[in-house]
Amino acid sequence: MRARISEAARLSFFWFGIQAVWGAILGVLLQARLVALFGDVAAQRYAFFAAAGAATAILAQFVSALLSDRAVARRATRAPLYIVGTTLSIGAIVLFLRGNSAPELLAAYIALQIGMNVAIAPYQAAVPEYLERAAQRTGSAWLAAMQSLGNAVGAVIAAVATPAVTAAMLPLLLLGALAPAYRLLARVVDPRTIEPDEPVRISRAHVDLFGSRAMIFLAFYTMLGYLYFWVLGSGLADIAAPRTIAGAAIVAFTLAGVGGASLAARLGKRFDLRATAIAGVACFALATALYVVSRGLLVLSVASIVGGLGWGAFLSADWALGARYVLPGARSLGFALWNLAVVLPQFFAPSLVGLLATIVRPNGAWATSRFAFGIAFFELIVGMLWLVRLPQAGQTMELRGLGRR
């Protein structure tokens, strides 16, 4: 059941809906809701909420991955996981935006993490199963572009729409994005299509990719989590509401990411995946440094665009690398393990900043966010240097070749 390259677009639509929800919730709404409930101590409470959500996401994704692989082994469909996850997520979004207390907000956020990750686990495995290896870089570019576009749309909704409108639009986007890809995603994947000569051992390249990816996403979630507080304390409140400015910055970042993913796909014939990823991370690090050394609308605009271009380029290479590294014998579980490099940073990013902030004691929202961005810059440098350890490989890079190096 191999897909044509043109089907990569259809497969990526659900990723757009997923990322629209995360762009709205993680980029703007969670922080805004915490400020409304906790006031000046919202930044400290954010660390707890983000860590609790990430821990829930890890558990939900592993359980869903095991169920997904079992379904494929029995020639059954993964469709129930998509339906259950999407339905639970829709209810959680409504509760999240209507809850009036901290326990309600936390319960809704936990439920949202469960629902989203129940759907994400089988989805991550389905994409490489339907795309031939020659088409995986094209599919990776589509997924990266849809991730950035989804984040942008979600941030716009969160920044300008009322809670009631947002509670209607986000569920509709999530459900509507699943519809075009559902028939492909719900198909039974024949285990006989898995190449029998793929190795099942973990190589050094696996470890290097996981470690570098974790450091880079650690920096990303630090930026995403503390951008609102950077705007709140940078003197931009006279221009517009902090929620609106933060949302606009995320939109600029993510739309630039679409351009970065497209550019990376076009340059893919001339540069290998490792070089593309390193160049993207370097641009993201430059943008993060701008946040640290200065403030103001010009800095926010330039950093958002430069960082977005780099982030889109990195994501384009990242998905292609993951599709080639994940062990094919249990794809959902393999991608769940690979995705720990994304989920664990959601836990450790706010926890690390919160811990170090109690030691350094930065004064005020902007000082705290500036301190957080400084940590993110260091994490990006480490991740970029870690990527250098990967072997050079072009579009024909295979897991077998990497395992022998």
Under 8 Å between Cβ of 300 and 245: yes
What are 267's two structure tokens? 């340059």
In sequence order, what are the beta bridge partners of 3? Answer: 131
Higher pLDDT, 23 or 216: 216
**pLDDT at residue 302, rounded to an integer:** 92
Under 8 Å between Cβ of 353 and 83: no
What are 351's two structure tokens? 């926890």
Higher pLDDT, 192 or 125: 125
Helices (H), 25-162: 30-38, 42-73, 79-98, 102-130, 136-160
Give just the sign of the alpha carbon dihedral 104, 105, 110, 116: positive
Higher pLDDT, 339 or 175: 175
Radius of gyration of the chain, Cα coordinates, nearest whole angstrom: 20
Q: Which tens digits make up the pLDDT trace of 127-144?
A: 766 665 556 666 777 787
Number of Cβ atoms within 10 Å of the Cβ of 195: 11
Q: Summarize the confidence of residues 39-50 as an average pLDDT.
A: 78
What span, in angstroms and rounded, lies between the C-alpha atoms of 82 and 182?
8
For 394, residues 6+ apart whose C-beta sits below 8 A from its C-beta are 272, 273
Q: Summarize the confidence of residues 238-244 as an average pLDDT.
A: 76
**pLDDT at residue 63, rounded to an integer:** 92
Under 8 Å between Cβ of 388 and 273: no
Average pLDDT, the chain: 80
Q: Summarize the confidence of residues 196-218 as an average pLDDT.
A: 74
What are 174's two structure tokens? 């999530």
Higher pLDDT, 119 or 356: 119
Give just the sign of the alpha carbon dihedral 359, 363, 364, 369: negative
**pLDDT at residue 202, rounded to an integer:** 64
Q: Which tens digits make up the pLDDT trace of 162-178?
A: 888 998 999 999 999 99
Give one word for 296, left, alpha or beta, with left for phi > 0 and alpha for psi -120 to 50.
left
SS3 assignment, position 44: helix
SS3 assignment, position 3: strand
Percent of the chain with pLDDT over 70: 83
pLDDT interval class at 344 (50, 70, 90):
confident
Domains of the chain: 7-188+202-403 (1.20.1250.20)
In sequence order, what are the beta bridge partners of 131? Answer: 3
Which of 257, 286, 270, 284 has the alpha carbon at shortest distance from 141? 257
Q: Summarize the confidence of residues 208-233 as an average pLDDT.
A: 86
